[in-house]
Chain A
Amino acid sequence: MTQTNEPAPQTGTGGLSEPTDGAATDPFLVVEDLTVKFPTADGLVQAVTGLSYSVEQGKTLGIVGESGSGKSVSSLAVMGLHDAKRTQMSGSIRVGGKEVLGLANDKMRRIRGREVAMIFQDPLTALHPFYKVGAQISEAYRAHHDVSKSVARTKAIEMLDRVGIPQARTRVDDYPHQFSGGMRQRAMIAMALVNDPSLVIADEPTTALDVTVQAQILDLLQELQKDFNSAIIIITHDLGVVAEMADDVMVMYAGRAVEFGSTRQILTHPEMPYTWGLLSSVPDVTADPEARLIPIKGNPPSLLKPPTGCAFHPRCPHMDKVPGNLCKTTLPELTPGEHGEGHVKRCHLPDPSAIYVQEILPEIAPDLVEMTINDQFPQKTGTGLVGDSPSDDALPKER
């Protein structure tokens, strides 16, 4: 049987519980050994298992994975948005030092929106179609501030202006359907930030948007992060978004963290075959147009009956390099990677770096093999979003 519950990883100074930059401040959000299960008619869905991570003020964590990997479920748990009657949760979630897991709804409500706010994937369905945009923003403000409607309205106009809605004074009275997709997401961001939250969870904030608008929204988020000094968790399946936004990256598969490290570590020295698969399936605009994307074979596993051992083993093309039946029988622990502190991965492969450089990299970016061996940063321009990412200076310039 698989281990269903495991202790938080002990990986020295770095690791999932502490961000790599290791500043003295306490992380604003600490998630420890979080497990989320949904009882259904077909059985118990193990959506998230033994997940631990933390995010510091002013930092951005990217959570990457396919649909059903538990990335959204874990962040909805942080927001306390799971129906307590239909969800079994254990572990610990501390927001600003306070334990929020199992907090009564009326107490959790004061944290939601005020300390932790959320930006959802599709702003068209996430905004109420029957209420004016401004009214929805001032409603969020008034949920946490005892102010009059006119004060809240002024605040809403100010926020709309701040997120770059032109003529905010008149657009405040528009309905969501009168906004364009990008403007709707800007309004959603305004609504999330109106209470100056310390943590913003952005769940696929650009997935429903036009490619040309995606970059604008990401830029806006970064700009606002500087002003508000909030922590951001960005949930995405798009490694281009991660490259642009995140300080650290957590890769999730079948409800568990399978690799964690700084964005640079994950993008230059991934050590988990699932992460390799994600990198290989991202289109590279600078690559040979004839080159084919390499999708990950198979489908994400059922969380009703997750595979034994490493959950990725039924899809893993490198299983033969692991002695014995280890992948099928034993769940790999999160162990430190070979390139720097704080990088951990959940894999049995004996020498993942060598396999990556020799087998994976030549396929996805042949011209970068040399650079990577010399510890350079390979440039993934999946959505053309590389530009002012935090580690910009380390990036080779566009060819």
Chain B
Amino acid sequence: MFGYIVRRLIAGVLVLIAVSMMVFAIFFYGPNDPALAYCPESRCTPQRLDNLRHNLGLDRPAPQQYVEYMSGLVKSRHIESGGISIDCNWPCLGVSFKYRVSVFHYLWDRFPATFSVAAGGAICFLIIGLFSGIFAARRRGTMADKAIVSTSLFINAIPYYLLALLAYLYLVQGLGLFPETGYHSPFKDGPFKFVGGLALPWLMLGIAYSTQYARFSRGAMVDALNEDYVRTARAKGLMERVVVRRHALRAAIVPVVTIFGLDFAYLLAGTLFTEKIFGIQGMGLAGLDAVQRTDLPMISAYTLISAAFIVVANIVVDILYSVIDPRVRLA
């Protein structure tokens, strides 16, 4: 088990190195010359561009620059950026062209907001999705089952951004049922402000994601309820409640864990629409902003961090498998 985790972590690091190389290659061979970011269009001469390239170190060979870039993962660096020397503390993934600060720390400061949205949303969609899915599976073929399945398909057919936008306009702006949304630190601003600002985003994420969890857990539960071992559990004379929870649900949860692991990783990388519509200053919004401003160090840092979440989520899912299913041997 321990050896397995170590091997998976090493493999994960290799994946991240590959991702960083690709990002770096885009940096160099992509359509955007990084030096252009410092060269105002009106006064940009070829001479000035060359100077900038030299100052930024962009005229050195790519491998050398890559090694320098990666060295930020083990130590702090000093980075010359547009004539100013900037301290980039460990871990350093470069300095933003626009904000002249360490991109890692810039993104990391926004992580609590993103994490709060993701975790609260995940709790909502797991509760709504699993409960309605299991409820539908146990009443398979009844009106209740059909109502749940068709409602979930209906909600699924509405684009999430439309759903979230309408909810914001009507429930916050129009009816004022929810307070103005946004992220407030639960420690500095108090838990009520924190929950108030995020309640609607959580609910919308909960509703939007729960549809696929409802249908997925319904299917898994229907399969599990048809398993021989569930019949055995009934034949033992166990109470129906115990049969469903301890025997069927335990098996049905396995496929749900897989998609949840990946969904949660994506959510941690930033919920773009949610952050944009509800005005939450999270990582997703920072990533979007960086793309709009061709802030290449920010984009590559954002990509690397997102990739790291997905790699870790995959490892966690595999470990969870072995915890749930004793037949899975991690080796």
Contacts A125-B227, A128-B232 hold; do A175 and B237 have CB atoms under 8 A apart? no
Set of chain B residues within 8 Å of A125, measured between Cβ atoms: 227-229
Set of chain B residues within 8 Å of A81, measured between Cβ atoms: 231, 234-235
B214-250 interface code vs A (CB 8 A; 1 in, 0 out)? 0000000000000111011111111110000001001
**Which of A61-69, A136-144, A240-248, A383-391 makes up part of the contact surface?**
A136-144
Q: Which residue of B lies closest to A175 (CB)?
A: B326
Q: A120 vs B237: C-alpha distance in the bound complex, in angstroms?
A: 15
**Which of A110-118, A211-219, A290-298, A314-322 makes up part of the contact surface?**
A110-118
Contacts A129-B327, A175-B326, A175-B327 hold; do A140 and B237 have CB atoms under 8 A apart? yes
Interface majority SS (helix, strand, loop, mixed), chain B: helix
Q: A90 vs B231: C-alpha distance in the bound complex, in angstroms?
A: 22
Set of chain B residues within 8 Å of A109, measured between Cβ atoms: 237-240
Set of chain A residues within 8 Å of B239, measured between Cβ atoms: 106, 109, 143
Q: Which residue of B lies closest to A144 (CB)?
A: B237
Please tell me if the beta carbons of B237 and A127 are within 8 angstroms of each other in the complex: no
Set of chain A residues within 8 Å of B237, measured between Cβ atoms: 109-114, 140, 143-144, 195
Set of chain B residues within 8 Å of A128, measured between Cβ atoms: 229, 232-233, 247, 250-251
Q: A45 vs B326: C-alpha distance in the bound complex, in angstroms?
A: 39
B145 nearest CB across to chain A (Å): 12
B325 close to A (CB within 8 Å): yes
Set of chain B residues within 8 Å of A117, measured between Cβ atoms: 235-236
B36 close to A (CB within 8 Å): no
Set of chain A residues within 8 Å of B326, measured between Cβ atoms: 129-130, 175, 177
Within residues 74 to 107 of chain A, which ones have a CB less than 8 A from any CB in chain B? 79, 81, 105-106
Please tell me if the beta carbons of A177 and B229 are within 8 angstroms of each other in the complex: no
Q: A113 vs B228: C-alpha distance in the bound complex, in angstroms?
A: 16
**CB < 8 Å neighbour of B238 from A118, A127, A130, A143:** A143
Q: A58 vs B239: C-alpha distance in the bound complex, in angstroms?
A: 29
Please tell me if the beta carbons of A130 and B250 are within 8 angstroms of each other in the complex: yes
B324 close to A (CB within 8 Å): yes
B319 nearest CB across to chain A (Å): 16
Within residues 177 to 211 of chain A, which ones have a CB less than 8 A from any CB in chain B? 177, 191, 195
Q: A112 vs B236: C-alpha distance in the bound complex, in angstroms?
A: 6
B26-61 interface code vs A (CB 8 A; 1 in, 0 out)? 000000000000000000000000000000000000
B312-330 interface code vs A (CB 8 A; 1 in, 0 out)? 0000000000001111000
B290 nearest CB across to chain A (Å): 45
Set of chain A residues within 8 Å of B231, measured between Cβ atoms: 81, 120, 126
Set of chain B residues within 8 Å of A126, measured between Cβ atoms: 228-229, 231-232
B240 nearest CB across to chain A (Å): 6
Contacts A129-B326, A175-B327 hold; do A118 and B229 have CB atoms under 8 A apart? no
Contacts A130-B325, A130-B326, A175-B327 hold; do A120 and B228 have CB atoms under 8 A apart? yes
Q: A144 vs B325: C-alpha distance in the bound complex, in angstroms?
A: 27
Q: Which residue of A lies closest to B235 (CB)?
A: A118
Please tell me if the beta carbons of B229 and A113 are within 8 angstroms of each other in the complex: no
Please tell me if the beta carbons of B247 and A129 are within 8 angstroms of each other in the complex: no
Please tell me if the beta carbons of B236 and A127 are within 8 angstroms of each other in the complex: no
A158 close to B (CB within 8 Å): no
Set of chain B residues within 8 Å of A139, measured between Cβ atoms: 236, 238
Q: Which residue of B lies closest to A113 (CB)?
A: B237
Please tell me if the beta carbons of A105 and B240 are within 8 angstroms of each other in the complex: yes
Set of chain B residues within 8 Å of A79, measured between Cβ atoms: 235
A338 close to B (CB within 8 Å): no
A122 close to B (CB within 8 Å): yes
Please tell me if the beta carbons of A113 and B236 are within 8 angstroms of each other in the complex: yes
Q: A199 vs B228: C-alpha distance in the bound complex, in angstroms?
A: 21
Q: Which residue of A lies closest to B325 (CB)?
A: A130
**CB < 8 Å neighbour of B324 from A105, A111, A127, A130:** A130
Binding site for B on A (CB under 8 A): 79, 81, 105-106, 109-114, 117-118, 120, 122, 125-130, 139-140, 143-144, 175, 177, 191, 195
Q: Which 9 pairs between the two chains have the least Cβ-Cβ distance?
A: A113-B237, A125-B228, A112-B237, A140-B236, A128-B229, A113-B236, A126-B228, A118-B235, A175-B326
Binding site for A on B (CB under 8 A): 227-229, 231-240, 247, 250-251, 324-327
Q: Apart from A79-B235, A130-B324, A139-B236, list 12 A-B contacts with CB within 8 A.
A: A81-B234, A109-B237, A109-B239, A110-B237, A111-B237, A122-B228, A128-B247, A129-B229, A140-B236, A143-B236, A175-B327, A177-B326
